Amino acid sequence: MIASIIEMPNGQAAATAVFGNEGASGMLVSLGPVPSPTTAVVRLAGNAWQISPMPFNAALQRSSSIGKMVQTFTRSLVAQLQHIAACNALHPVEQRMALWLLRLRDQTGDDAILLTQEAMAELLGVRRPTVTLVAAKLKDAGAIRSTRRGVVEVDRRRLEATTCQCYEAISSRLDRIVPPSKPPSIFSAR
């Protein structure tokens, strides 16, 4: 799973989107050679393929399947950016932490999420002491079962009860764009 992180000139950072097998980092290069303001940070390890911009754009010109894949991913990325922007402006950090934990949990299907407090602070755009405080609140609510070094074990149902409406909004919108029954792996494009 890759997080798209935007960093401010003063060093503060926050995540703008996360994606896994359904997408690819740097795919917006298809829109033109504009430097990206975000950094792609691998948050959950896995296998990935890499292609340089020039051969990718050449393949894109030749393949309508790749073109559709890029369109689908761009739509899902824009949907995430819109919801995350609203969420960051409107909802408290406790609900936002629950949202990110649910998004990470959905990527792996595992209640034990490999995530350090520093990484969570970066996703949320807050300082680490805030993460400690908010994680303790989620633990009291039973939404986080345990935190040990670099692993957060969550209770999905309680996290859903804790998070804001953005989780359901993002999930249902992304499911409409990329139906879960037919995950269009970019790697299987013909």
Neighbours of 7 (CB within 10 A): 13
Smaller CB separation from Zn ion, 126 or 164: 164
18 forms beta bridges with 3
Stretch that binds Zn ion, among 66-74, 134-142, 159-167, 168-176 (CB under 5 A): 159-167
Any idea of the CA torsion for 153, 40, 7, 118, to the nearest 10 degrees?
A: 20
Q: Report CA-CA distances (Å) from 174 to 12, 38, 66.
A: 28, 21, 19
Among positions 30, 67, 72, 91, the unique one binding Zn ion when judged by CB under 5 A: 91
What the block records as the tokens of 48 is 């990935």
Smaller CB separation from Zn ion, 13 or 102: 102
Q: Report if residue 124 touches Zn ion, rule: CB under 5 A.
A: no
CB of 45 to Zn ion, least distance (A): 27
Smaller CB separation from Zn ion, 94 or 122: 94
Smaller CB separation from Zn ion, 101 or 166: 166
Q: Report if residue 173 touches Zn ion, rule: CB under 5 A.
A: no
Closest CA relative to residue 15, chosen from 72, 73, 99: 99
Measured in whole angstroms, the distance separating CA 58 from the mean position of its chain's CA atoms is: 28
Window 69-88: residues binding Zn ion (CB under 5 A): 87
Site string for Zn ion, 14-43 (x = CB under 5 A): ------------------------------
Q: Interhelix angle for 128-140 vs 93-108, to 10°?
A: 80
Q: Which residues bind Zn ion (CB under 5 A)?
A: 87, 91, 164, 166
